[in-house]
Structure 1
Amino acid sequence: MKERIISVDLFRGLTIALMILVNTPGTWSNVYAPLLHASWHGYTPTDLVFPFFLFIVGTSIVFAYNNKTPNSGTYKKILVRSLKLIGLGLFLGSFTIYFPFFKNFADIRFPGVLQRIGVVFFFASLLFINFNWKTLLGICIAILLGYWIWMGFIPLNGEAPTFERAPNNWANYIDVKVFGSHSYKADYDPEGLLSTLPAIASSLLGIFTGLILISQKRKKEILLAGMGISFVVLGHLWDWIFPINKALWTSSFVLVTAGWANIVLAIVYYLTDVKGLKFGSIFKYVGANAITIYFLSSFITKLFIYIKVGNGISLHEWLFKSIYVQDFFVPELSSLLYGLTVVSFYLLLAYVLYKRKIFIKV
């Protein structure tokens, strides 16, 4: 398509802004409940953010690779981009400001957000350029059903499997066996190995949305909203037997989050691409350098935590307590205002990059 679909750029940029907001509160001790992840089963608004990004990765794949020939050149581009994303994620997981500037090997976390994006992008792209939508739908259904059967019905070391945070949980068990100390937690990783499989399905559902957007169908916003509502209903019904869970990226979680993504995108699409309303351009600027903005935010946040000032407290803590902790603010509001300030900085950075036509492609 010669004309860009504004809503896709806005959606991508808004998702990155929300990722930064939920990742950088003033203090984790005081955060409003909607800005925290669910403790295990269930979901909060924060739990929607990462699957929203994987969903829009799938949608973007349609625009980038539609009608691309599946040859060695295309495969090479997909592989290189995937390796770049994985490499950036591993760098974030291993970096420290102290010489030799990398953590001890045993302390490095192997999985991560960027690593999952890289892996999901790789497989979703390969599937898209090699199969039609009907085959992709079959693959998506097979992944969601297969993951449910694996997690819920295949015995583990002679025990019935569980969806709880326990040693006989298949996703947790595989993470411990494969990653050992290189995980986010000792017993599981929210971006673990087995749970990356249904994460690919999240991106495939985004591909179906992209196919609708490039089609000649009328009332696309109605189709997207209808599809979104259906996914949300199906996901909540499945929740009764396969709980909605971000850490496990359960099949019900895939459907519910893709459903909400379609609903939100349908609204934004109707307002911008159909009605031509001009709003939220700042998020379009973020979307144009999405991975760059996210990487910089994660890297600089790490620096602010590592750098010590004053009485040995981190630069992050010093800024937060010096500026945002005030008697007339409740602690949660102080923490939120810090996070909003951080987001505002990266919105401004994205604006400057966009206006100077600097687009860093990863």
Structure 2
Amino acid sequence: MAKERNIAIDVFRGLTIFLMIVVNTMGPGAEPYPVLAHADWFGFTFADFVFPSFLFVMGSSLAFVAARPMPDHEYLFKVLRRAGLLFAIGFFMYWFPFVHVTRALTYAPNLLSEVRIMGVLQRIALCYAAAALAVRYFSPRQLIALSVALLACYWASLVFMVAPGDAFDRLNNIGTVIDRAVLGQSHMWRWDGGFEPEGLLGTVPATVNVLAGYLAIRFLKRDGRRLGVLALCGVALTVVALGLDESLPISKKLWTPSFVLLTVGLDFILLAALAAVLDLWKLPVRTGFFEVFGKNPLAIYLFSELLIPLQALFKPLFKIEPYQWLGVAVFQRLAPGALGSLLCAIAFTLLCWLFGYILYRQRLYIRL
């Protein structure tokens, strides 16, 4: 059962990596479908569902890793080593390729003093470390209580630690205040008015997404036939989140508690569906495509993230970035509008899949 469960998790992980790359690389030349663009502040789109789902499936995998017997010092060393490497790779990713093209089509260095400190991999690293330590020392019931406490404390900090009216303000919420004080404005995300979407404080509620994935697998490992119960819990959490939206707005960028409840609820439902199809009913579903993504998620994600800035360096030679030309000259002529933008992103994602497939055929699995 554990081995089969790993297949479902690989598919889940692979699906999230596939969607992360698609959402992050929508083709130029047209606005994407609204459902594939992140909500500007409040609200929820399909794109908003992808990152928390990856955190959830990371927690699901943690249920197997944490079950392996090892002394505390070895476990702590592995957790901190992996978290440190993930954080360092994320930082390096934003510094790469160490130069950028200016408006005058010349090259200028990427200054270390302006490199973004936080980001997707950095948040994954911090959430992983916090969740891995929690599952080592707390029982499942204690983890549930911890999750509730983390969401309650985060919500209280949003509402009560800033002036009235600034709780959900983009630049004056407590998370942004902390990021400016600790990270410095020059090390924060520059394309959202100075707001850091993967800020330090948001790591607290995001850790609950990881813990939820761990708890879901712990629940199913006791009896894999309890998928219906897991799905019903997912429905209940989704309904509660939507009901709280008026007083506790759903916002990915702030990672509000209602956003956590909504994404965890949907992930419970999705995990139950995948486990039913792949494990319980054993339907003849071909999963190889997503398993390629799931076997090497870090390598494929890094390939996608590093290839975009690397191709931008060819702009002085061609007077246009290759990806910009591909999106406008090829895919917008093939299918004008949002469809062309989506097809361009899918083509790029398939290129990333091919890279992963080569690694898969060579039995190369990059692990930290």
Judge same fold: TM > 0.5, yes or no: yes
Deviations 1:78-120 (A, max 9, x none): 1111111101100111113539996113321111000000111
Residue in structure 2 matched with residue 104 of structure 1 by the alignment: 111
Quote the Cα distance in structure 1 between the aligned partners of 2:225 and 2:288: 24
Quote the Cα distance in structure 2 between the aligned partners of 1:288 and 1:43: 29
Residue in structure 2 matched with residue 184 of structure 1 by the alignment: 189
TM-aligned CA deviation for residue 317 of structure 1: 1.2
Residues 109/97 of structure 1: CA separation in 2 closer, same or farther (3 Å cut): closer
Residue in structure 2 matched with residue 84 of structure 1 by the alignment: 85
TM-aligned CA deviation for residue 280 of structure 1: 2.5
Residues 18/304 of structure 1: CA separation in 2 closer, same or farther (3 Å cut): same
Quote the Cα distance in structure 2 between the aligned partners of 1:268 and 1:247: 28
For 1:53, the aligned partner's letter is F
The answer on whether the counterparts of 1:70 and 1:129 sit within 8 Å (CA) in structure 2 is: no
Structure 1 unaligned blocks of 5 or more:
none
Residue in structure 2 matched with residue 201 of structure 1 by the alignment: 208
Deviations 1:242-281 (A, max 9, x none): 1110011001101100111111111111111111122222
Residue in structure 2 matched with residue 260 of structure 1 by the alignment: 266
The answer on whether the counterparts of 1:97 and 1:303 sit within 8 Å (CA) in structure 2 is: no
Quote the Cα distance in structure 1 between the aligned partners of 2:71 and 2:238: 34
For residue 253 of structure 2, the aligned residue among 247, 253, 258 is 247
Quote the Cα distance in structure 2 between the aligned partners of 1:213 and 1:355: 31
The answer on whether the counterparts of 1:38 and 1:44 sit within 8 Å (CA) in structure 2 is: yes
4+ runs deviating over 6 angstroms: none
Residue in structure 2 matched with residue 16 of structure 1 by the alignment: 17
Partner SS, residue 140 of structure 1: helix
For residue 130 of structure 1, the aligned residue among 137, 155, 171 is 137
TM-aligned CA deviation for residue 164 of structure 1: 3.0
Deviations 1:171-204 (A, max 9, x none): 1221222222211135321100111110111111
Residue in structure 1 matched with residue 3 of structure 2 by the alignment: 3
For 1:133, the aligned partner's letter is P
TM-aligned CA deviation for residue 226 of structure 1: 1.1
Structure 2 unaligned blocks of 5 or more:
101-106
Quote the Cα distance in structure 1 between the aligned partners of 2:81 and 2:113: 27
The answer on whether the counterparts of 1:175 and 1:187 sit within 8 Å (CA) in structure 2 is: no
Query: Bigger shift: 333-342 or 233-242?
Result: 233-242
Aligned residues: 357
For 1:255, the aligned partner's letter is L
Quote the Cα distance in structure 2 between the aligned partners of 1:29 and 1:196: 33
For 1:342, the aligned partner's letter is F
Quote the Cα distance in structure 2 between the aligned partners of 1:182 and 1:162: 23
Quote the Cα distance in structure 2 between the aligned partners of 1:305 and 1:15: 26
The answer on whether the counterparts of 2:171 and 2:195 sit within 8 Å (CA) in structure 1 is: no
Residue in structure 2 matched with residue 60 of structure 1 by the alignment: 61
Q: Please state if 1:237 is matched with 2:238.
A: no
- Which runs of structure 2 are paired with 1:260-279 in the superposition (5 Å)? 260-277=266-283, 278-279=285-286
For 1:315, the aligned partner's letter is P
For 2:90, the aligned partner's letter is G
Residue in structure 1 matched with residue 227 of structure 2 by the alignment: 221
Residue in structure 2 matched with residue 162 of structure 1 by the alignment: 167
TM-aligned CA deviation for residue 29 of structure 1: 4.3
Q: Please state if 1:331 is matched with 2:337.
A: yes
Residue in structure 2 matched with residue 344 of structure 1 by the alignment: 350
- With normalisation by structure 1, the TM-score equals 0.93
Q: Identity percentage over the alignment? A: 33
Residue in structure 2 matched with residue 175 of structure 1 by the alignment: 179
Partner SS, residue 313 of structure 1: coil
Query: Bigger shift: 275-284 or 249-258?
Result: 275-284
The answer on whether the counterparts of 2:98 and 2:110 sit within 8 Å (CA) in structure 1 is: no
